[in-house]
Amino acid sequence: MLSKNHGVIDDKSDIEAVGHRVVHGGETFSGSVYITDEVIRVLQDNIELAPLHNPPNIKGIQACKRIMPNTPQVGVFDTAFHVKMPPKAFLYGIPYELYKKYKIRRYGFHGTSHLYVSNKAAEILGKPKEELKIITMHLGNGCSMAAVNKGRSVDTTMGFTPLEGLLMGTRSGDIDSSVILFIMGKEGLSLSEAQTLLKQTLRSDRNQR
């Protein structure tokens, strides 16, 4: 960034703000926010919901704070676009007390992508987004779909974690929960090993072909 041959700025002070794409904001954030100590605390509280993503996100934020302590930082959350889905879309068929106690719900992810695609579709169609009902798709190694009504997410395929939904490169997607219990019993897998199986099965199969 500061390279004499390839850099795009002359000094760190040229950076006016830093934006961070953060995977999990839980139910707290419904939009982008200035990053404060309180915001970082919420991200830490949500680590158990996104153990592979939130810790690196936090490290990136802290690194920028050390290097540019006076530069504003903003968090843009993958979950924010979906946080206002109706209860019929985000509640699971489990006792309601478990949702209240552990915040087990469909959070949805890839929100920044779905928001952009729905707005871009409205632009291409030449219609206000408030008049449209759109199905958006985020396709890559991780995949998800969302139903967007009048510019707002009303349902999505990813759930409590990014594991739910469509079949993906290294994630099982939707699967009968009894299958997992069956495999754990037959193979003597621990909870951690079962989680790894769901996230790595497809990659392992490819390596064996």
Q: Which H or E run contains 144?
A: strand 144-149
Q: Please name every residue paired with 20 in a beta bridge, in sequence order, or none if there are none.
A: 75
Let me know if 176 is a catalytic residue.
no
Q: Which amino acid type is present at position 149?
A: N
Kindly name the residue from 11, 78, 155, 205 that is annotated as catalytic. 78
Q: What is the 3-state secondary structure (H, E, C) of 156-207?
A: ECCCCCCCCCCCCCCCCCCCCHHHHHHHHHHHCCCHHHHHHHHHHHHHHHHH
For 140, residues 6+ apart whose C-beta sits below 8 A from its C-beta are 169
For 152, residues 6+ apart whose C-beta sits below 8 A from its C-beta are 84
Cα–Cα distance, 51 to 58 (Å, whole number): 11
Under 8 Å between Cβ of 187 and 115:
no
Residues with catalytic annotation?
78
